[in-house]
Chains A and B, each alone.
Chain A
Amino acid sequence: GAVVSQHPSRVICKSGTSVKIECRSLDFQATTMFWYRQFPKQSLMLMATSNEGSKATYEQGVEKDKFLINHASLTLSTLTVTSAHPEDSSFYICSARVRLAGGSGANVLTFGAGSRLTVL
């Protein structure tokens, strides 16, 4: 089935540095990818929708200059956390729409494995 590959799975960095997270669709093309953030014991919060070849659409309250999203090709989207601070420590997870096989043919989200960011 369709696989979304995300790395790194874990990253620890010092405050003030930038961290890049990559998300790749394997064996399928993803014109749109969704980036979520998840704090411990909380649900997924949509940060932005990444669109191939155009600007990302950010959710209200998400700083565009802090969370840079680039979707340069149909198989790669990246999230860069710029000048990371301890409060940015979280689980970041990307996803892409995949069409279900069978009758419904619905588009469901397939998730990457997630990236746990710890900012010291």
Chain B
Amino acid sequence: GQNIDQPTEMTATEGAIVQINCTYQTSGFNGLFWYQQHAGEAPTFLSYNVLDGLEEKGRFSSFLSRSKGYSYLLLKELQMKDSASYLCAVRDQATSGTYKYIFGTGTRLKVLA
């Protein structure tokens, strides 16, 4: 089966750095995605990792270790607008070749002034 875990909530201060961890177990791993979701809105794509290592994109970076089933999203220079839920998602490939995108529980980040 599939299992994706993230912390439920995190709090950080404006201007700081925060790391949101994600651990996963899946049989047909084919990529890991991070999405941001503000309350009542659709998720928006942040980053994608399929190989081990760090992907950097402005204030956001994402890291993947496939052997450990682990990823993190790093947010630098936090701004108030970064207060949102951050969803870790794994693309899982079935033996039939079809893909599914499975989402973790999501981490609600609150940025304080």
A binds B: yes
Residues of chain A having any CB pair with chain B under 8 Å:
34, 36, 41-46, 49, 57, 91, 93, 95, 97, 100, 104, 106-114, 116
Question: Which B residue's beta carbon lies closest to that of A111?
Answer: B42
Judging by beta carbons under 8 Å apart, are A43 and B33 in contact?
no
Residues of chain B having any CB pair with chain A under 8 Å:
31, 33, 35, 40-45, 48, 50, 87, 89, 91, 98-106, 108
Question: Which B residue's beta carbon lies closest to that of A40?
Answer: B39
Known A34-B101, A44-B87; judge A113-B45 contact (CB<8 A). no
Chain A interface, DSSP helix/strand/loop, else mixed: strand
Residues of chain A with a CB closer than 8 A to B91's CB:
107
- Shortest distance in angstroms between A79's beta carbon and chain B's nearest beta carbon? 15
Residues of chain B with a CB closer than 8 A to A57's CB:
98
A112–B87 Cα gap in the complex (Å)?
A: 16
10 pairs of residues in contact across A and B, judged by CB atoms under 8 Å = A36-B103, A44-B103, A46-B103, A97-B99, A104-B48, A106-B48, A106-B50, A108-B45, A110-B45, A113-B41
